[in-house]
Amino acid sequence: MGINEQKIKKEYKKSTWTLYAGLILLAATLLSLVLGVIKYSSSKNNVPDLETIIVEESDNKTRRIAYLDIDGCFGFASKDDVTLYIAYNPDYYYIISMDEKAIADLRNRFDQAADDELVRVYGWTIAIPEEAKAFAVEALNEELGEEVVGLDNFERMFGDVCLSVHPKEKVFSFDGFVNVSGGYFIASLFMLAGGLIMFFMGKTRKKTYEAAIKGEDLAMAEIDSPSAVCYEKSKTILTDNYLVSYSGSYGSVSFADIVWAYITRHSTNAVHDYDYLSVATKNGKLIGLANGSVIGKRQEETYNRHMEILNRIHEKNPEAKIGYSPENLAEFTQLQKEIKEKKKAGLL
């Protein structure tokens, strides 16, 4: 096995590991969703009252489904469409938050409740906003007509979490799952996206290498010939008849099929970060290959390496246009248009 073939098989192994990494991420996605469902089911099937969560010794008090039986409530602060209320029952005072839909639902239930009947509300626990504490203290003291609570004993009166109240059907629905198991859900989305990208990228790349290794690509027979030149940093091999790229996916193009080749400069946020070669072929395809950093001292090295590849392409095919220009672009665009029209007419 020649040196260049070994390099290509090394890249083939990388594509295989990319595929496996994608599968692992997809498995982790499923595990994360299962853990999220378990957490949500546990919270849903064993719903405590807010008081139980407030007094328990735990660092896990938020994002849990809870209920509260209340006599009434009065608002003290609002932001956007959410209002904070002090809710009360014969035992204690609590802080709850409600949007307009939850407020309308609670009003309707109070209207239907008998005298002295407590109304049960459901929601999920959230941390009490720091900026709301002073308003809560002022509102309760004003309601009671005396100073019974201050910021120094706030948690002893209200605790450290409040209840984000919503209609029961919303709490025990997908919205409830997202709010209770949101961390698992978000992690699952990221892992799913990453897993699918890596899986299909690895699968596609692996397929290109497999075809080459099986001998389905004629260029493979020339990659270790004495005249073959390998530009390892660009992961490009020039044989007598082919340009071979093994950067990411495997691909080859015959010098005879190249009609145009030029250097493309890539920039991120107006900063020139790397160059790559663009090769246009007779069948209207534009292929990008031979990436190279242009940061610092590497800039001249990258440019010289790419120019050497372009010069070799021109040596192999003197009819190929070399370098970017509006005229070369217009000519290639016209070629693509003609190929497209021939395909429509069934001539290709």
Distance of CA 251 to the CA centre of its chain: 29
Of 66-80, 167-181, 264-278, 287-301, the least confident: 287-301
Determine contact, residues 128/164, Cβ cutoff 8 Å.
no
Beta-carbon neighbour count of residue 113 at 10 Å? 13
- Looking up residue 146, the CATH number of its domain turns out to be 2.40.50
- Looking up residue 314, the CATH number of its domain turns out to be 2.30.29
Q: Do 165 and 76 belong to one domain?
A: yes
**Total structural domains within the chain:** 2
Nearest to 75 by CA among 132, 124, 10: 132
pLDDT of residue 308 exceeding 70, the answer is: yes
- Is residue 37 situated within a structural domain? no
Domain closes at, from 107, 142, 169: 169
Q: Do 156 and 236 belong to one domain?
A: no
Q: Do 78 and 159 belong to one domain?
A: yes
Q: Do 131 and 233 belong to one domain?
A: no
- Is residue 22 situated within a structural domain? no
Q: Do 228 and 329 belong to one domain?
A: yes
Nearest to 328 by CA among 277, 266, 261: 261
**Residues 88-123: pLDDT tens digits?**
998 899 999 999 989 998 999 988 988 889 999 999
Domain holding 153, by residue range, is 48-169
- Is residue 116 situated within a structural domain? yes
Determine contact, residues 302/292, Cβ cutoff 8 Å.
yes
Q: Do 309 and 225 belong to one domain?
A: yes
**Residues 137-163: pLDDT tens digits?**
999 999 888 888 888 889 888 989 999
Give the mean pLDDT of the chain.
86
Determine contact, residues 265/276, Cβ cutoff 8 Å.
no
Q: Do 228 and 117 belong to one domain?
A: no
- Is residue 3 situated within a structural domain? no
The residues, ordered by sequence, that sit 6+ positions from 262 with a Cβ below 8 Å of its Cβ are 277, 278, 310, 322, 323, 324, 328
Domain closes at, from 169, 201, 234: 169
